[in-house]
């Protein structure tokens, strides 16, 4: 459900898949397809739910084995890894982000 007035259509908006990053175990040399639209049921990975939107999955290849923080709010500037953009979603009154965003909500990706 769209909650914000916007000039963008729903297919151009991201869906907030979560307000905090997801720690994900990766293996060195293995590639992962990160969901950039937020619509995947297999978060943080892509399941093809972006079809019909303006989004595509982002390929991430692990340079070492371990845990990484994948962005779940989908507004990170360092896709697919978290850059703390979720703070604008989690605390909009403090950081100047969009208000009323909950997991499962469509919103315009934060560009600033």
Task: Note the pLDDT tens digit of each residue in 63-104.
Answer: 999 999 999 999 999 999 999 988 887 777 777 777 778 888
pTM equals: 0.84
What is the separation of C-alpha 1 from the centre of its chain, rounded to a whole number of angstroms? Answer: 17
Residue-by-residue DSSP string for 48-77: STTTTSS---EEEE-SSSEEEEE-SSS--S
Look at residue 16 in the predicted model and tell me its pLDDT.
Answer: 92
Look at residue 2 in the predicted model and tell me its pLDDT.
Answer: 41
Three-state SS for 90?
A: helix
pLDDT-derived band at 109, boundaries 50, 70, 90? confident
> pLDDT (tens digit, 9 = 90+) per residue, 11-29?
999 999 998 999 999 999 9
pLDDT-derived band at 7, boundaries 50, 70, 90? low
């Amino acid at each position: 459900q769209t909650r914000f007035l916007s000039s963008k259509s729903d297919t151009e908006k991201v869906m907030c898949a979560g307000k905090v990053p997801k720690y994900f175990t990766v293996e060195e040399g293995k590639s992962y397809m990160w969901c950039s639209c937020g619509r995947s049921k297999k978060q943080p990975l892509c399941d093809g739910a972006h079809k019909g939107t303006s989004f595509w999955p982002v390929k991430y290849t692990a340079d070492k084995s371990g845990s990484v923080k994948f962005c779940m709010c989908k507004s990170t500037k360092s896709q697919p890894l978290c850059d703390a953009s979720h703070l604008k979603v989690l605390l909009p009154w403090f950081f100047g982000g969009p208000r009323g965003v909950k997991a499962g909500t469509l919103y315009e990706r934060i560009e600033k």
